Structure 1
């Protein structure tokens, strides 16, 4: 099977790893368009569902791969209704780290921080907890032991922002350099799945 999806294929979903996804598309020469949604939608299920459904309608007539994990309680129902599928993984961090590494860090109390959220913390997270810093700190410290900052080959310098966030929520910082091998495998698998669907549909038409 070719590495290239059909030109009318679009990856629709979370923009938190858009720099990494675009880099992989360019690296592999994939014929894959992108339609990224605001990563801060995760904190508002109603807005997330609306944005995703609008994106599906916007790309009607194209083969759509949804780039989300289990980020909405009705995610699978939304996809089933639209007859489309999503990338494999609980969330974008798991797609980046792989399930074993992700679960190990999660079990150790890590709150994962990527550059996109670090640069837009008040917009993505601050609105959720309001202007009460004591409440915010208490919530984060209840279930987290550290702020794990993930750097990819596409990341810029967000150290100052990460330090400020760590001080806000009262968690120590840790840093992890992450390659894109697992994310690349997730995208490749999704494109292979799409190709299988297309091949099956084509066989049905010629039967």
Structure 2
């Protein structure tokens, strides 16, 4: 008897995954962990280990990049397959689009983190003022690129607030969920035959 399938995902993908569920493109349960855990890798590892143990009798699609130091170890488990990509931005955009945007000097912002930007930069990273973070951001980046997957209404006042605080111009990059859909479909097939191309990341 084949094991049941579950997706364990970072909540950064919630908008896109829930839309796929709504459209009938995903018909398996999805378990989310808070995306802010990306800023707390040790805590992420603890909670992810617990969740994987909870679903040890399931086939698991793990929707995470290299978000903590032992992430690759999960792929040694025969019931787990993981999304290819070093981080959530590459997973959503695909390698070539992600590299092009990064090579342009961009800090990439996904919809969920745009809504939670104060949690990310002020609370988690500790930059309480614009004056504190601007030198850090402008040294490493030329601009902010917001990835619009077409599922969240554009919030220009919010974009202006983020841009002003970080000291970088913000551009909108129109994208789709096509790459994500393709990856998930491949992983569902791969999870059904774990002995085939198990580590074909």
Aligned pair partner of 1:52 in 48, 51, 62 = 48
Match of 1:129 in 2: 126
Q: What is the TM-score of this pair, normalised by structure 1?
A: 0.85
Deviation at 1:63, TM superposition (A): 1.2
Match of 2:26 in 1: 30
Matched length: 195
Match of 1:178 in 2: 175
Q: Which runs of 5+ in 2 are unaligned?
A: none
The structure with the larger Rg is 1
Q: Which runs of 5+ in 1 are unaligned?
A: 1-5, 201-207
SS of structure 1 residue aligned to 2:194: helix
**Partners in 1 of 2:167 and 2:135 — Cα distance?**
9
**Partners in 2 of 1:181 and 1:29 — Cα distance?**
11
Mapped contact 2:149–2:175 kept (Cα < 8 A): yes
Mapped contact 2:79–2:191 kept (Cα < 8 A): no
Going by fraction, where is helix more abundant, 1 or 2? 1
Match of 1:149 in 2: 146
Deviation at 1:41, TM superposition (A): 0.9
Pairs within 5 Å for 1:15-164: 15-80=11-76, 84-127=80-123, 128-164=125-161
* 1:195 counterpart = 2:192: yes
Q: Report the RMSD for the aligned CA atoms in angstroms.
A: 2.2
Mapped contact 1:136–1:169 kept (Cα < 8 A): yes
Deviation at 1:22, TM superposition (A): 2.0
* CA gap 1:79/1:168 in 2 versus in 1, 3 angstroms: same
SS of structure 1 residue aligned to 2:153: coil
